[in-house]
Structure 1
Amino acid sequence: MARATHLKALALLPAFALAGATMACGAGGNGSGGTTTPPSSSAAAAQQIPTETKDEKLAAMVPTTISADGKIVVGQDQTYPPNEFVDANGKVTGFDVDLGNAVAQKLGLTMEYQNADFSGILAGLAAGKYELAISSFTVNAERTATVDMVSYYKAGTSLGVLKGNPDHLTPNTLCGKNLAVQKGTVQVDDATKRSQDCTAAGKPAINIQQFQAQTDVNLQVQTKRSDAMLADSPVVDYAVKQTDGAVEVVGQPYDTAPYGIALKKGQGSYAQAVQGAIQAIIDDGTYAKIVAKWGLNSAGAITKAELNPAG
């Protein structure tokens, strides 16, 4: 993920529904600023995605230690709408969930999504707690050194502020400001580097406020306890829509990089099976339907799934 104390109630409400009395994880976006309007969670839920047909060749590439029980156990931080979150009915949903389900169908399996703190998912994968992780992980060299990653979308980082941008902030004018980010994300590294640049120039450091859940990050901005937030651009775009413009995006996304499904290394052809499944749903048109359903910028859609691409 360019991006994951959960306030559990937040995760159970519709994504980013923070306005009024109602209150509701890697880099996201593609650098182009967005061409579609993210739907509400209820509107997206009403859109049906075709069921995939099992590919026997790909299914045979999955290790029997994984396929024997008919499911893939997935680590996921479900506080990151529109990519992965729990809707008002308590159902896990989102772009990554629809994509993961389609991949599982191609492999003749089902996905069992287990909620986890974003910062601990890859460690859980390495320890064998999960058999796959799909949680808006940005592909980078640090991650591919320890896990295999199969690309499925391209995204960047966006700066989110209160409507009207009262402090006239940009990513380069955050010195001395309160900046909310999710723990374990590439935005933490980004903010740390920017803060170092501030102090090197004799300016006050950025007060980097790290939270376990992205929903908590969003709340910080809306309640004015943070001046701004950095998050994946699909996430900030979704916040704008779900808060009726109470949050706005500053400028264009930057640092575009692929999202990747993460798998433990050394599992034979498992990673290639997942790569083949993603490519199959790209080729048959299901992938484009999932991207459109969740209002993601179509310019971030990929045409080729790659194993451990350059981040």
Structure 2
Amino acid sequence: MKKLFVLILLVSSLIACAPKPTDEKVLTILTSSGYPPYEMVDVNGNLYGFDIDLGNAIGELLGYTVKWVDMDFDGIIQSLNAARGDMAIAAMSPDPARDVLFSDSYYIGDDESPFFVLTKVDSGIASAADFLNKTAGVQIGTIQEAVLNKMKDELSITLDPRKDVSQMVQEIMVGRIDFILVEALVAGEYVNQFPQLTRFELEHEAAYASSGTAIALPKSSTKLDDVNQALATLKENGTLDQLIKKWFTE
């Protein structure tokens, strides 16, 4: 009987000392430091920056403890789809060629739009509404192609996919293509070369949704809606504006 009592005490002691299960939810976020002011490492080896503050705010809003993993940028996509992270916040543009899901954009810098229309001065194209029944040149695999794919049914745009932008510019000059969509700096270079051309920034909801920087998630992720809702909340309550002011204007 005494031995049984000692055994019971021993078992009870072991149970008491065993690690207690935790209800803590962990959100693993991948990033790639060395890209100020988005993600950097301080003298103590701690990550800090705009993206870090944003990720921590999203984690808090969704009820997660955030675990950051710093890695080479070119390994992020593969790591996401190998289930080594829940998402990546690394100043990443929502490029359709990247084999992941993307959130809504959370930052679009001034003069950084990748969506400028390049067309002839006398084309009659001055806004997105003028794309109706026109032929657009698109470079294959780019975010510009993705945006025009979203717009083509609405405006009956015919897409002419090409690999080379300079070739598309020549097609504009001879009238086989009405316009192309390229980055601001690229459009400016061609306007400088050819006085027959003009450029303007595309204003359309499809372009806004694909501009700037976005959060990447694995293709199989079920968190996309939650992340987009968190971003919307951070915009509405002013947190995102505060972070932009902190990291980009101060």
Structure-2-length-normalised TM-score: 0.50
Greater share of residues in helix:
2
The structure having more radius of gyration, on CA atoms, is 2
